[in-house]
Structure 1
Amino acid sequence: MASKQCTIIITILCLLAAATAHDTPAKQDKTATVVVEGKVYCQSCKYFGSWSLTDAEPIPAAKVSVICKNHKKRVSYYNAFETDTNGYFYAELKDFKMTHYLLDHPLHSCHVKLVSSPLESCNLLSNVNNGINGSPLRFENKVVYGKDYEAVVYGSGPLAFRPTNCDPETTH
Structure 2
Amino acid sequence: MVYCQSCQHYGTWSLSGADPIPAAKVSVICKDHRERVSYYKAFETDAHGYFYAQLEGFTMSHYLLDHPLTSCHVKLVSSPLESCNLLSNVNYGLNGSPLRYENKRLFGKNYKALVFVAGPLAFRPANCTPTYHQ
Q: In the alignment, is residue 67 of structure 1 matched against residue 21 of structure 2?
A: no
Deviation at 1:111, TM superposition (A): 0.1
Once residues 63 and 50 of structure 1 are traced to their aligned partners in structure 2, the CA distance between those partners, rounded to angstroms, is 22
> How far did 1:135 drift?
0.2
32, 36, 41: which one aligns with 2:3: 41
- In 1, the alpha carbon distance for the partners of 2:113 and 2:80 equals 30
Deviations 1:11-32 (A, max 9, x none): xxxxxxxxxxxxxxxxxxxxxx
> Identity over aligned residues, as a percent?
73
Q: CA offset at residue 169 of structure 1?
A: 2.4
Matches within 5 A, 1:13-52: 39-52=1-14
SS at match of 2:69: helix
Aligned residues between the structures: 132
Structure 2: gaps of 5 or more residues: none
C-alpha displacement at 1:151, in angstroms? 1.2
SS of structure 2 residue aligned to 1:90 = coil
Instruction: Choose from 90, 94, 104 the match for 1:132.
Output: 94
Runs (4 or more) in structure 1 with deviation over 4 Å come to: none
Residue 159 of structure 1: aligned partner: 121
**How much does 1:140 deviate?**
1.4
**Counterpart amino acid of residue 93 in structure 2:** G
Q: Given the two structures, how large is their TM-score scaled by the length of structure 2?
A: 0.97
Q: Which ranges in structure 1 are unaligned for 5 or more consecutive residues?
A: 1-38
Amino acid at match of 1:165: N
- Higher Cα Rg: structure 1 or 2? 1
Distance 1:93 1:139 in 2: 15
Root-mean-square deviation (Å): 0.9
1:40-61 Cα distance to aligned partner (Å, 9 max, x none): 0000000000000000000000
